[in-house]
C-alpha cells in the first residue's frame, strides 16, 4: 500500500472529512415484487432548491443507481427497476410545494406492471399543481417526471411512470 492510499484510508474514518447526511428510512418495491427496506442518505443542502436534498432529487438525478443502507449493509438499487419507493415525509416528494392556487387533489387507483398480482394495485391520493385549464389528472401525468407522488395513508409513495399501466378514480 502506498503512503497516499494509507493517508486516504485514514481520512475516510475521520469525521472532519465526512459530509453530514440526513438518514431517511424507505421501502422500495422493485420489478418482480422484491421489497427492499433501507435508509437513503440525503445532503443537508440541495443544489437545486432551498433546504436539504430530497428523495425525489436522488431519483431524478442522472446517476443510474440509488445507494441504500440496510440491515445487511450497503446496497445499490438500479433506479430504472424501481416500481415505487415509500417513505414518511411529504417534503421528500415536493408535496410541500403542492399548495395554494392551482392545486388539485384526487383519490386514485393505480395499476402497476412488473410486480406480483398482490402488489399490482395502489390506492391513494394524488396532489398536484397545474395552471388553469390544465387541471386534469391526465394533464399532470402527461407532463410528469419519471416518478410522481401518491399519498397512501401516513406514507408517501413515489411511483414510477414507466411502471404505471392505468390510473382511475378510486
Let me know if 120 is exposed, middle or buried by CB neighbors in 10 A (0-12, 13-18, 19+). middle
Please state the pTM of the whole predicted model.
Answer: 0.85
**Edge-to-edge order in the sheet of strand 65-70:** 73-78, 65-70, 35-42, 22-30, 82-87, 155-160, 147-152, 121-129, 103-112, 164-169
Q: Give the pLDDT confidence of 111-168 residue by residue, as tens digits.
A: 999 999 989 999 999 998 888 888 899 999 999 899 999 999 999 999 999 999 999 9
Amino acid at each position: 500500500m502506498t503512503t497516499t492510499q494509507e493517508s486516504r484510508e485514514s481520512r475516510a474514518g475521520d469525521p472532519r472529512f465526512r459530509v453530514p447526511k440526513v438518514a431517511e428510512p424507505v421501502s422500495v418495491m422493485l420489478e418482480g415484487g422484491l421489497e427492499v427496506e433501507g435508509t437513503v442518505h440525503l445532503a443537508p443542502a440541495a443544489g437545486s432548491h432551498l433546504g436539504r436534498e430530497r428523495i425525489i432529487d436522488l431519483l431524478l438525478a442522472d446517476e443510474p443507481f440509488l445507494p441504500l443502507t440496510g440491515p445487511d449493509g450497503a446496497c445499490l438499487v438500479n433506479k430504472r427497476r424501481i416500481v415505487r419507493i415509500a417513505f414518511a415525509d411529504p417534503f421528500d416528494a415536493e408535496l410541500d410545494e403542492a399548495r395554494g392556487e392551482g392545486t388539485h387533489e384526487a383519490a386514485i387507483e393505480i395499476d402497476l406492471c412488473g410486480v406480483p398480482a398482490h402488489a399490482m394495485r395502489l390506492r391513494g391520493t394524488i396532489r398536484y399543481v397545474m395552471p388553469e385549464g390544465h387541471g386534469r389528472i391526465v394533464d399532470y401525468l402527461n407532463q410528469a417526471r419519471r416518478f410522481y407522488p401518491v399519498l397512501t395513508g401516513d406514507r408517501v409513495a413515489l411511483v414510477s411512470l414507466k411502471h404505471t399501466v392505468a390510473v382511475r378514480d378510486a
